[in-house]
Chain A
Amino acid sequence: MSVERRETPWTRAKPQTRFRGGEGLEAFLLVVPGVALMLLFIVWPTLNAFWLSFHRENLLGTSREWVGLANYAEMFRDPAFWRSVGATFVFAAIVAPVQLVLGLVAALMVARPFPGVNLFRTLFFLTTAVPTAVAAVAWGWFLHPVGGTLNRALEAIGLPRQPWLTSPELALPTLAVVTAWAGVGFTAILLTAGLQQIPEELYEAARIDGAGSWTQFWRITLPLLSPTLFLVALLILLSSLTAFGQIHLLTRGGPMESTMVWIYRVYQDAFFNFRFYYASAQAVALFLVLLLLAALQFRFFGRRVHYG
């Protein structure tokens, strides 16, 4: 077909190769609404975020004045800010491995078909359909100091009840596990897709060579899955650095500010401590950290993207 066409180029206008004036207007009309919305609601707020962070409320709170880098200077000296940063990274450092392992176990079990696989896929992927607020409430009750099933189970086997969400030591790790749980479905979906791209022939060849499933996992599955694992780990990291809903519902940053993560402090300072501009500076700092991670993701995976 294509050879024939090349021989008779005059039978069709050459589309897609050269710009024709009439098309410009059509393209313009199709593109402009979207571009305008992106400029207004993504580009402008991003630029304005920086601009705001150079200001401060005046004493009456009626208008703002330029203070240059004063917010940033204060931020770097503010122990409360650094505690939030620390809590955020501890949180992310727990969420990422827990969610990755939980999701990987699920994905390994359902990546290949077997009778009943759809039922188990549904169950393993189910948490994607659970809104943050619902997940938080479910765990709030599951971990309840008196009526919670977990504490009841601990007591039944002779262990003491734990103040999961009410002790400064336990609250942050507990929230991290809740967050990881809520993300299991998401992780399992991505890892299942990754596992399904590993050619079945590799496993067959390994079996013929007498490799057991343990060897197959370490020598085939894990090496070939590692780019996907790395990507998913980055995605988990990115989302856990901005986890908010479950913290707002379960601990409100407490007890004793132990779960006052970065984004929660931004929210708190902006809407409750009347320090909107100081909050903006903290938000910009978080923005830069996330941008760095996103750029890393882009750097490693930008060229892999294709629609299959």
Chain B
Amino acid sequence: MVSLPRWLARFLFYLGLSVYAFLLVLPLLNLFAASFKSDGELFAPGFWPANPTLEPYLEALQKYPLARYLFNSAVVALATTLGVILVSATMGYALARIPFPGQGLLFGFVVALLLIPGEVTFLPLYLLVQGFGWLNTYTALIVPFVASPLGVFLLRQFIKSLPQDLFDAARIDGAGHLRMLWHVALPLSAPALGALAALTFLGSWNMYLWPLVTINRSEMMTAQIAVAQVQNVEVTAWNVVAATAILVLLPTLIAFLLAQRFFIRGIALGGLKG
């Protein structure tokens, strides 16, 4: 086999990387470019706008209460994340560190729930939430997802892997389980909590089918559903649709760029559940 000179091999490697990365990001760049095009320029040839304008953003923000939609999504995603952390930490701690009758059974129950594909129980869940009078409320988008078997499972595994000595030391100092949970288990579980938080936030922010069926009052809509609504109305004004989509993309994109390792860890762990 002919071996290439080192500099050429390196050049080709970076070229391949760049081309692949460019092709992967291309649809997003294309959307970004469209969001700065005026109505007149939208269907003209040229990838980038010749005269970039903020008109599509202004139009999107004027015609639709996008700030409200983004606020709704933020409230839902943050509350769900907080709830999942709380339930997972308390249940995970009890399953890992407090011996009580039926512990093995309860852990088996949580593991069994991991198998249940939640995406397809949305019809009975809809009836339940409707019965509670929760349609068109934040509650419908938050409470059903707060008890996450995956979260409990991950934190139970993590807390169980922490060194026993630390808990012994705390116990000798007279700490009860609540204090050990708060002062020992939680600080040490920061990597797992961060990963779970990132995973949960992303999942909640991206929810589509569930808010679509439980929310129909405009002011309660989440950002995802708003994108669908704007796209439905602005049939030809793709620049306005693009501007809306970019605004909806920004929060998760910024969160991803800032806390990339938590997202990566969360996805790696979430994928390895089982």
Contact = CB atoms under 8 A, between A and B. Distances in A.
A31 B86 CA distance: 11
Nearest to B161: A307
Contacts of A222: none
A295 interface: yes
A138 B158 contact: no
A307 B231 contact: no
A10 interface: no
B147 A42 contact: yes
A45 B27 contact: no
Interface in B22-81: 24-28, 30-31, 34, 42-43, 45, 47
Interface in B111-170: 113-128, 143-147, 149, 152, 154, 157-158, 161, 164-165, 167-168
Given A137-B242, A307-B161, A109 B16 contact: yes
A199 B133 CA distance: 56
A218 interface: no
A181 interface: yes
A109 B17 contact: yes
Contacts of A291: 115-117
A220 interface: no
Contacts of A38: 109-110, 113, 147, 149
A13 interface: yes
B252 A15 contact: no
A124 interface: yes
Nearest to A48: B124
Q: Which 5 pairs, one residue from A and one from B, show the smallest C-beta to C-beta distance?
A: A129-B256, A37-B147, A245-B208, A290-B117, A27-B100
Interface in B235-274: 238, 241-242, 244-246, 248-249, 252-253, 255-257, 260, 263-264, 267-269, 271-274
B172 interface: yes
Interface of A: 1, 12-13, 15-19, 23-24, 26-28, 30-31, 33-35, 37-38, 40-46, 48-49, 52, 102, 105-106, 109-110, 114, 116, 120-135, 137-142, 144, 146-147, 149, 152, 181, 184, 186, 189-190, 193, 212, 231-232, 235, 238, 242, 244-245, 248-249, 263, 266-267, 270-271, 276, 279-280, 283-284, 286-287, 290-291, 294-295, 297-298, 301-302, 304-307
14 contacts: A33-B87, A42-B116, A48-B127, A52-B124, A126-B253, A129-B256, A129-B257, A137-B245, A138-B31, A279-B123, A283-B121, A301-B274, A305-B157, A307-B157
Nearest to A277: B123
A153 B13 CA distance: 26
Interface in B3-27: 13-14, 16-17, 20-21, 24-27
Nearest to A52: B124
A23 B1 CA distance: 69
B209 interface: yes
Given A27-B98, A190-B271, 13 more contacts: A26-B94, A27-B177, A30-B181, A52-B123, A126-B256, A137-B31, A140-B231, A141-B242, A186-B267, A232-B271, A248-B208, A302-B274, A305-B274
Nearest to B14: A116
A144 B269 CA distance: 37
Contacts, number: 300
Contact of B147 (A41, A276, A306): A41
Contacts of A105: 20
Contacts of A279: 123
B188 interface: no
A30 B274 CA distance: 24
Interface in B92-116: 93-95, 97-101, 103, 106, 109-110, 113-116
Contacts of A267: 209, 213
A263 B16 CA distance: 38
Nearest to A116: B14
A129 B24 contact: no
B209 A45 contact: no
B98 to A, nearest CB: 4
A306 B157 contact: yes
Given A138-B28, A141-B31, A294 B117 contact: yes
Given A12-B168, A181-B27, A280-B123, A190 B267 contact: yes
Given A125-B264, A189-B264, A286-B120, A133 B227 contact: yes
A12 B172 CA distance: 7
Given A232-B271, A279-B123, A302-B274, A130 B249 contact: yes
